[in-house]
């Protein structure tokens, strides 16, 4: 059976089961395929599990739309950020030469990458849209290195299921499942529109996840950790957003 018809069968099965026998059965099916969001059983319940399972099966290898250069927004809107801390300002004065991205957890080789280390990895660019859950969006060119390459470099252990990532801003963290983390458009971004990534847009290092809503695209990334369970972080909902009523899986 081809991958696509298999996916159709699974998602069709999930949806039909939900209609006929209720969400609890869909929940069990999703678990059988290992498609359980970290906040399952939490505030969203089985409906969230069903949405996530169906969405990730349907969109697993679908790229986010890329735009022609002519459609780059003339005046991209940066969501205002908290005033930078003294430590951040000091690092900025050093051209972020002391910035480190620490990658640890369930990896063979925990590593602290400088920006120079990351810039020495394969650099790619994408012209994609940032879409905020509040309804506005803009298109920009994002320049960085795919997260997948960094994960290969540190050697992800087989039991790892999620990639949790943390901003230097307090209480700003999120996570991706392995499928989304290894997606070719998931970048650690250091440049924007042919220049350095401005601080307002998350410089010096931003997680770019064009397949998901703006809030998954965290600015000022300094730590990534691989884990088998998001229950170990915060309130166990997979990111800080579900604590305020937004979905962990924010696919668009």
Ligand X SMILES: Nc1nc2c(c(=O)[nH]1)N[C@H]1C(S)=C(S)[C@@H](COP(=O)(O)O)O[C@H]1N2
Binding test (CB under 6 A) with ligand X, winner from 169, 196, 228, 243? 169
Residue number, 46 or 214, with CB nearest to ligand X: 214
Tokens describing residue 164: 């949790």
Looking at 15, 23, 81, 252, which residue binds ligand X (CB under 6 A)? 81
Residue 89 buriedness (CB in 10 A; 0-12 / 13-18 / 19+)? exposed
- Answer yes or no: are the C-beta atoms of 111 and 119 closer than 8 Å: no
Instruction: Give the range of 42-50, 136-144, 195-203, 207-215 binding Mo ion by CB under 5 A.
Output: 207-215
**Centroid of chain to Cα 147:** 10
Question: From CA 196, how far away is CA 143, in angstroms rounded?
Answer: 9
Q: Considering the rule CB under 5 A, would residue 46 count as an interface residue with Mo ion?
A: no
For 20, 73, 196, the CA distances from 67, given in Å and listed in that order, are: 41, 11, 20
Measured from the CB atom, the residue of 85 and 159 that comes closer to ligand X is 85
Dist CA 221 CA 165 (whole Å): 7
For Mo ion, the closer of residues 142 and 215 by Cβ is 215
Q: Which is nearer to ligand X, 17 or 212 (CB)?
A: 212
Tokens 């990458």, residue? 113
Q: Which two tokens stand for residue 113?
A: 């990458």
CB 132, min distance to ligand X, A = 3
Name beta bridge partners: 113: 101
**33 or 77: CB nearest ligand X:** 77
- Give the footprint of ligand X on residues 186-215 (CB under 6 A): 201, 214-215
Q: Of 77, 90, 194, 229, which one interacts with ligand X (CB under 6 A)?
A: 77
Question: Can you state the percent helix, strand and coil of the chain, rounding each to 5?
Answer: 35, 25, 40
Q: Which is nearer to ligand X, 145 or 172 (CB)?
A: 172
When asked if residue 132 is in the footprint of Mo ion (CB under 5 A), the reply is yes
* Contact between 79 and ligand X per CB under 6 A: yes
- Of 218, 203, 196, 206, residue with least CA distance to 84: 203
**Phi, psi (deg, nearest 5) at residue 159:** -80, -10
Q: Which of 191, 203, 210, 214 binds Mo ion (CB under 5 A)?
A: 214
Least distance from Mo ion to the Cβ atom of residue 252, Å: 12
Minimal distance, residue 246 CB to ligand X, in Å: 9
Q: Which residues bind ligand X (CB under 6 A)?
A: 77-79, 81, 130, 132, 167, 169, 172, 201, 214-215, 217-220
Q: Which residues bind Mo ion (CB under 5 A)?
A: 132, 214-215
């Amino acid at each position: 059976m081809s991958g696509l018809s298999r996916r159709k069968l699974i998602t069709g099965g999930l949806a039909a089961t939900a209609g006929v026998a209720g969400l609890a059965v869909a929940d069990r099916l999703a678990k059988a395929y290992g498609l359980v969001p970290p906040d399952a059983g939490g505030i969203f319940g089985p409906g969230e599990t069903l949405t996530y399972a169906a969405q990730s099966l349907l969109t697993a290898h679908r790229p986010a739309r890329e735009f022609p250069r002519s459609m780059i927004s003339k005046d991209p809107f940066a969501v205002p950020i908290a005033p930078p801390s003294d430590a951040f300002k000091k690092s900025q004065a050093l051209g972020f030469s002391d910035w480190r991205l620490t990658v640890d957890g369930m990896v063979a080789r925990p590593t602290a990458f400088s920006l120079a280390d990351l810039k020495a990895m394969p650099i790619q660019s994408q012209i994609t849209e940032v879409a905020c859950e509040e309804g506005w969006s803009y298109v920009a060119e994002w320049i960085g290195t795919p997260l997948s390459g960094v994960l290969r470099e540190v050697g992800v252990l087989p039991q790892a299921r999620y990639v949790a990532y943390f901003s230097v801003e307090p209480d700003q963290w999120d996570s991706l499942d392995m499928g989304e983390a290894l997606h070719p458009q998931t970048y650690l971004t250091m440049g924007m529109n042919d220049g350095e990534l401005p601080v307002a847009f998350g410089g010096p290092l931003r997680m770019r996840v064009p397949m998901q809503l703006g809030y998954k695209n965290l600015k000022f990334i300094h730590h990534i950790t691989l884990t088998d369970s998001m229950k170990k972080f915060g309130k166990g909902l997979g990111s800080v957003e579900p604590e305020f009523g937004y979905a962990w899986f924010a696919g668009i």
